[in-house]
Structure 1
Amino acid sequence: MAAWLGLNGVLLIAAYLLGSTPTGYWVAYRVKNVDIRKHGSGSTGATNVLRVVGKKAALFVLLVDILKAVAAITVVRGTYESIGTLGAIAPVEVLQVWQPWMVTLAGLAALLGHAKSIWLMTGSARSPELTTGGKAVASSLGVLLALSWQIGLATIAIFALVLSISRIVSLSSMLSAILISVLMLGTHQPLPFCLFAIAATAYVLFRHRSNIDRLLSGTEPRLGQQVQPSD
């Protein structure tokens, strides 16, 4: 039992560290020698990178932020399947019950790492006011794709549709986040997946508080409006 609990702890730490990779911060610093957290919305996510750095950098950040969340889920799922095959550490029945819970917890750990990256709290990147990362939309999509690729693709389709009509990334992100909960509950996914969907929806909406204010005031930037880094 101790070995099994220890393994789960290691897996969650690994998921957090994968999620903590501050892709947007590193790319912006590398390409334009700026701290992305001091420009635009202050987020290290792909949307702010698009405004401050450019399209190619934003696309790279988007892909990596999705893939790091997928990797966190894949590591946990692969480990559980491996130890289940070997019959080690815990009975197969126990592993089957706990796998969806651990997969979900790993996804949440990756999202926590994205929003509160350990790499932004240490070393040269550290600043008392600048310890947050992105708004976890791309990483949430990565977790969703790893949990249910069908729902993930449906969410992408809705995001693209809303974006093509509104040209507002934040609005598309929030509506997509709401859809996640609707689809997870509507298709009767495992309980941990449904709880993740509800938590992810609430979290994305919470992280977009300032965007909601700008949407209501009509000042939210539309796609293509670039923010120039200040000196």
Structure 2
Amino acid sequence: MITILLMILAYILGSVPNALWIGKVFKGIDIREHGSRNTGSTNAARVLGAKLGVLTLILDVSKGLVPTLTAILLKADFFENLTKISNFDYVLVGICAILGHVFSIFMNFKGGKAVATTLGVFLILVPKAILFAAIVFFVVFAISKYVSLSSILAAISLPIFIYFLYQEIIYIILGILIAILIVVKHRSNIERLKNGTESKFSLKNKK
């Protein structure tokens, strides 16, 4: 019962469209009508400025981190006899947070590309693997300046790092599934990368 409740709450939290609401509150704009029209932190940084972009990133990461961490805390000895939460339950909670971000109930089941919320989930489940995936991201970004390409390659590398560092089959499967989801959500970016029309990341000063 506790797992089902956590899954529902994780989905609702994951559904919160931070970039959309921040854009409306602080700038009076609908971010879906500007830049790449995506509600992720990259477009938020481009359209709303670095500070609000960072705020969006932190909140989007928290959408995955908070419910997953809550599930793990409920696994602690003090609660264990009452909750009986397993590693599989952590995965279910994390998946719900990610799906909420991608298919938000607040945006007619549309949403972001899952990268930041996935980071939050795996930061709790497999922190060492996330560290190495982050290195892949920053190396690719330093060379290419493409956030999309960096995100795709980092996502693909993640289940590989999970395999070598943790060898936990349920986490490996989750990593593979989320990598596929992230690649699919970036299919338009992939087409632009092929055509040479993908935008490189840059920030404009915004007040």
TM, length-normalised to structure 1: 0.83
Counterpart in 1 of 2:93? 106
Question: Are the counterparts in 1 of residues 126 and 166 from structure 2 also a CA contact under 8 Å?
Answer: no
| Whole-angstrom distance in 1 between the partners of 2:53 and 2:88 | 32
CA deviation map 1:80-105 (0-9, x unaligned) = 32421xx236xxxxx3xx51101011
| Whole-angstrom distance in 2 between the partners of 1:76 and 1:189 | 21
| Whole-angstrom distance in 1 between the partners of 2:42 and 2:97 | 19
The residue identity in structure 2 corresponding to 1:219 is T
| Whole-angstrom distance in 1 between the partners of 2:158 and 2:86 | 21
Question: Are the counterparts in 2 of residues 43 and 132 from structure 1 also a CA contact under 8 Å?
Answer: no
Give unmatched runs, 5+ long, in structure 2. Answer: none
Does residue 83 of structure 1 match 2:79? yes
| Whole-angstrom distance in 2 between the partners of 1:56 and 1:159 | 21
Cα shift at 1:225: 6.2
The residue identity in structure 2 corresponding to 1:205 is V
Cα shift at 1:188: 4.1
Does residue 137 of structure 1 match 2:154? no
What secondary structure is seen at the aligned counterpart in 2 of 1:210?
A: helix
| Whole-angstrom distance in 2 between the partners of 1:52 and 1:207 | 20
CA deviation map 1:162-183 (0-9, x unaligned) = 1111001000000000110111
The structure 2 residue matched to 1:71, chosen from 62, 66, 70, is 66
Alignment of 1:174-193 (within 5 A): 174-193=152-171
Question: Are the counterparts in 1 of residues 128 and 165 from structure 2 also a CA contact under 8 Å?
Answer: no
| Whole-angstrom distance in 2 between the partners of 1:42 and 1:137 | 16
The structure 2 residue matched to 1:57, chosen from 52, 56, 59, is 52
| Whole-angstrom distance in 2 between the partners of 1:148 and 1:22 | 25
CA deviation map 1:138-163 (0-9, x unaligned) = 11111111111111111112111111
The residue identity in structure 2 corresponding to 1:34 is I
Cα shift at 1:186: 2.4
Give unmatched runs, 5+ long, in structure 1. Answer: 1-5, 90-94, 122-130, 227-231
Tell me the matched-pair count. Answer: 204
The residue identity in structure 2 corresponding to 1:11 is L
| Whole-angstrom distance in 2 between the partners of 1:105 and 1:201 | 16
| Whole-angstrom distance in 2 between the partners of 1:7 and 1:149 | 25
Question: Are the counterparts in 1 of residues 3 and 93 from structure 2 also a CA contact under 8 Å?
Answer: no
Counterpart in 2 of 1:21? 16
What secondary structure is seen at the aligned counterpart in 1 of 2:75?
A: helix
Question: Are the counterparts in 2 of residues 24 and 49 from structure 1 also a CA contact under 8 Å?
Answer: yes
Question: Are the counterparts in 2 of residues 115 and 134 from structure 1 also a CA contact under 8 Å?
Answer: yes
CA deviation map 1:178-200 (0-9, x unaligned) = 11011112234322111110001
The residue identity in structure 1 corresponding to 2:72 is R
TM, length-normalised to structure 2: 0.92
| Whole-angstrom distance in 1 between the partners of 2:199 and 2:58 | 22
Counterpart in 2 of 1:8? 3
| Whole-angstrom distance in 1 between the partners of 2:129 and 2:163 | 11
Counterpart in 2 of 1:126? none
The residue identity in structure 1 corresponding to 2:169 is L
Question: Are the counterparts in 2 of residues 19 and 72 from structure 1 also a CA contact under 8 Å?
Answer: no
Counterpart in 1 of 2:102? 115
Counterpart in 2 of 1:224? 202
CA deviation map 1:108-153 (0-9, x unaligned) = 10001111122224xxxxxxxxx41110101111111111111111
Counterpart in 1 of 2:25? 30
Cα shift at 1:43: 1.4
